[in-house]
């Protein structure tokens, strides 16, 4: 038996070591119906989600999650639950076996139907995305039957994935039940590989929506930045021709403008940074599914490049524009402040010179009087 290592351990060693094993994909076998729901939640909302999952487990006579638990996978009989707590959101994934008879010929059943509806409706937070994913065997299905009752043909996106071992179909539309939809035809994959592919597909939808959270902030910031840039240009012209008496007023205006710009920066910088990170994760997940073209169909990568690039560029441009404006305001404030300080020093020096001259005159007059 090897001799144990008796050295002082770093307090976070086990936590850091186990990070690479966090949130592992599940082994899966088709056919399956999966309902994936992502709820935006602040710190209080995330803790409320822990209490919400604890209530569900108590109803099944199971132990609640620990105080520091951030994810769990559990079989509740009628369905499997995967619960994950992230920095900005909580994801809930429900999985059930599904029948493939007549699939595509009528409205398919959702895994969410197996979940207690009152409990499901009370999920803490705000729904960012909800996706129904059906994982089916490859045989006996064609895109025509899938489109008829499951997906919208006019926005259909499809590709082969997992190096040709599967096909994925989606329309990136929110259907009448409030869910978007995706169908994965999986053939010849091991359960673990299928589980990894399913996880990547769910993450593509999650990160796509999370990345777009920066778009409303970018549009709102554009209006504020346009006003601030106009104000800065006006101040720059005024400073160039200003006399000494007007400079303190201009410095006050510039200081207030700097406060507005920094306030806007503080309100949106973290959002833009998060969106940038989510866009990068989205790129990686699309690469991970190893897709290739189905004849006559647009791939997920092509769809994302075409539809998301403008939104991504808007967020990136807003962040760069904000940084540039902040630097320009700071630079102009420093220049004007320096100019005012120099003029104040010159005024002080002139005053001292005048006072010294007067003192010399007084001394001369005193000497003359005293004779």
- Within this chain, do residues 82 and 171 fall inside the same structural domain, yes or no? yes
Q: What is the pLDDT of residue 99?
A: 84
* Residue 83 confidence (pLDDT) above 70: yes
Q: In angstroms, rounded to a whole number, what is the distance separating the alpha carbons of residues 336 and 254? A: 9
- Within this chain, do residues 222 and 297 fall inside the same structural domain, yes or no? yes
Q: What is the CA radius of gyration of the chain?
A: 32
On whether residue 368 sits in a domain, the answer given is: no
Share of the chain above pLDDT 70, in %: 84
- Within this chain, do residues 218 and 168 fall inside the same structural domain, yes or no? no
- Within this chain, do residues 181 and 307 fall inside the same structural domain, yes or no? no
What average pLDDT does the structure give for the chain? 86
Task: Among 148, 180, 211, give the residue marking a domain's end.
Answer: 211
More confident: 67 or 46: 46
On whether residue 86 sits in a domain, the answer given is: yes
Q: In angstroms, rounded to a whole number, what is the distance separating the alpha carbons of residues 84 and 56? A: 15
Determine contact, residues 343/247, Cβ cutoff 8 Å.
yes
Determine contact, residues 84/202, Cβ cutoff 8 Å.
no
SS3 82: strand
pLDDT band at 341 (very low <50, low <70, confident <90, very high): low
Q: What is the pLDDT of residue 367?
A: 66
On whether residue 363 sits in a domain, the answer given is: no
On whether residue 21 sits in a domain, the answer given is: no
- Within this chain, do residues 228 and 192 fall inside the same structural domain, yes or no? no
| 205-229 residue pLDDT tens | 999 999 999 999 999 988 888 888 8
Domain boundaries, position 337: 214-357
- Within this chain, do residues 94 and 67 fall inside the same structural domain, yes or no? yes
On whether residue 310 sits in a domain, the answer given is: yes
pLDDT band at 138 (very low <50, low <70, confident <90, very high): confident
Task: Among 211, 230, 248, give the residue marking a domain's end.
Answer: 211
* Residue 122 confidence (pLDDT) above 90: yes
- Within this chain, do residues 192 and 280 fall inside the same structural domain, yes or no? no
Q: What is the pLDDT of residue 343?
A: 53
Q: In angstroms, rounded to a whole number, what is the distance separating the alpha carbons of residues 21 and 282? A: 21
Task: Among 195, 211, 227, give the residue marking a domain's end.
Answer: 211
Provide the CATH number for the domain around residue 285. 1.20.58
Task: Give 81's strand partners.
Answer: 74, 94
- Within this chain, do residues 104 and 183 fall inside the same structural domain, yes or no? yes
Which backbone phi and psi does 78 adopt, to 5 degrees?
Answer: -75, -20
Domain total of the chain: 2
Q: What is the pLDDT of residue 361?
A: 61
Q: Tell me the pTM.
A: 0.84
Determine contact, residues 106/3, Cβ cutoff 8 Å.
no
Q: What is the pLDDT of residue 369?
A: 63
Q: What is the pLDDT of residue 336?
A: 63
- Within this chain, do residues 159 and 206 fall inside the same structural domain, yes or no? yes
| 249-267 residue pLDDT tens | 777 777 788 778 888 888 8
Q: Averaged over 18-37, what is the pLDDT?
A: 85
pLDDT band at 296 (very low <50, low <70, confident <90, very high): confident
Q: What is the pLDDT of residue 12?
A: 79
Q: In angstroms, rounded to a whole number, what is the distance separating the alpha carbons of residues 101 and 241? A: 81
- Within this chain, do residues 140 and 224 fall inside the same structural domain, yes or no? no
On whether residue 19 sits in a domain, the answer given is: no
Closest to 168 (Cα-Cα) out of 211, 215, 135: 135
- Within this chain, do residues 195 and 251 fall inside the same structural domain, yes or no? no
- Within this chain, do residues 341 and 195 fall inside the same structural domain, yes or no? no
């Amino acid at each position: 038996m090897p001799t144990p290592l008796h050295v002082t351990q770093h307090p976070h060693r086990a936590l850091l070591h186990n990070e690479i094993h966090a949130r592992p994909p599940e082994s899966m076998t088709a056919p399956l119906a999966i309902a994936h729901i992502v709820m935006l939640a602040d710190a209080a909302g995330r803790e409320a989600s822990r209490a919400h999952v604890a209530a569900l487990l108590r109803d099944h006579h199971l132990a609640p999650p620990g105080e520091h638990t951030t994810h769990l996978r559990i079989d509740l009989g009628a369905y499997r639950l995967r619960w994950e707590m992230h920095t900005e959101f909580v994801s809930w994934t429900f999985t059930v076996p599904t029948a493939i008879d007549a699939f595509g010929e009528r409205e398919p059943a959702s895994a969410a139907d197996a979940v207690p509806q009152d409990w499901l409706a009370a999920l803490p937070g705000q729904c960012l995305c909800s996706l129904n994913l059906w994982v089916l065997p490859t045989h006996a299905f064609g895109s025509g039957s899938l489109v008829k009752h499951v997906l919208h043909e006019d926005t259909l996106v499809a590709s082969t994935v997992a190096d040709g071992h599967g096909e994925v179909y989606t329309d990136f539309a929110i259907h009448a039940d409030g869910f978007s939809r995706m169908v994965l035809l999986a053939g010849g994959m091991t359960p673990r590989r299928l589980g990894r592919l399913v996880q990547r597909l769910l993450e593509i939808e999650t990160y796509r929506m999370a990345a777009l959270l920066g778009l409303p902030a970018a549009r709102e910031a554009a209006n504020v930045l346009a006003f601030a840039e106009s104000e800065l240009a006006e101040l720059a012209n005024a400073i160039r021709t200003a006399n000494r008496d007007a400079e303190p007023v201009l410095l006050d205006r510039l200081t207030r403008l700097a406060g507005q710009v920094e306030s806007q920066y503080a309100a949106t910088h973290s959002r833009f940074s998060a969106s940038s990170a989510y866009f990068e994760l989205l790129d990686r997940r699309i690469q991970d599914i190893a897709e290739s073209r189905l004849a006559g169909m647009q791939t997920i990568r092509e769809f994302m490049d075409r539809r998301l690039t403008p939104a991504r560029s808007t967020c990136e441009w807003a962040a760069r524009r904000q940084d540039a404006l902040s630097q320009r305001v700071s630079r102009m404030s420093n220049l004007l402040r320096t100019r005012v300080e120099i003029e104040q020093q010159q005024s002080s020096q002139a005053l001292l010179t005048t006072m010294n001259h007067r003192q010399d005159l007084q001394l001369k007059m005193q000497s003359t009087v005293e004779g």
